[in-house]
Amino acid sequence: MEEERGTALSPQQGPTTARIIHGALAVGVLMVFGILAYLRTVSGPAVAGDAAGTLRIVAYAVLAVGIVMTRVMRGRIAAPSPARSREGSGADLAEWWTTTLPKAIVVWALAEGVGMIGIVLGYVIADLTVQVIAVAVGLFLLFLTRPGALEGPRA
């Protein structure tokens, strides 16, 4: 007979789990940027000419659409009620994270994905400026949607 497992997180697990996932995504953006920036120094551009210009425009368009989509998806996450806010009990906040964490992960993955696409396109066309802008946008979107910001203002 299988043991039933609850889906609720303990008061400490909800915020902690969210922060670990969020931090891992942010570190992933920085790691990929570092690796591809290094590889760019040892290899030339994979694409040149008109295609590079087109990919540069595509990279900026992806970043712009990603900013809008992250904002739209962030708007779908309701803030915890005052009873569940940081002033409330830890159990209420954990319950809120149990229902909110999947939505938050989607928003964070979107923010990370936007940054990653820009980093890779910048690598392909050997344009460090595109890569740096992509990292900045990805990390900025992750900062705006950090767990503490989703939980609401601090008391």
Ranking 8-17, 68-77, 117-126 by mean pLDDT, the lowest is: 8-17
Tens of pLDDT, residue by residue over 76-93, are 998 887 655 555 556 677
Distances (CA, A) of 154 to 41, 46, 86, 148, 149: 44, 48, 7, 8, 9
b or e along 26-53 (b: 16 or more beta carbons within 10 Å of the residue's beta carbon)?
Answer: beebeebbeebbeebeeeeeeeeeeebe
Average pLDDT, whole number, for the chain? 85
Q: Can you give the residue ranges of every domain in the chain?
A: 13-151
Cα atoms found within 13 Å of the Cα of residue 130, Cβ hemisphere only: 28
Mean pLDDT of 134-151: 94
Write down the pTM of the prediction. 0.83
Ranking 6-10, 30-34, 45-49 by mean pLDDT, the lowest is: 6-10
Structure tokens at 25: 């995504």
Cα(37)–Cα(18) distance, rounded to whole angstroms? 29
Mean pLDDT of 42-50: 79
Distances (CA, A) of 84 to 81, 95, 106, 152: 5, 8, 22, 10
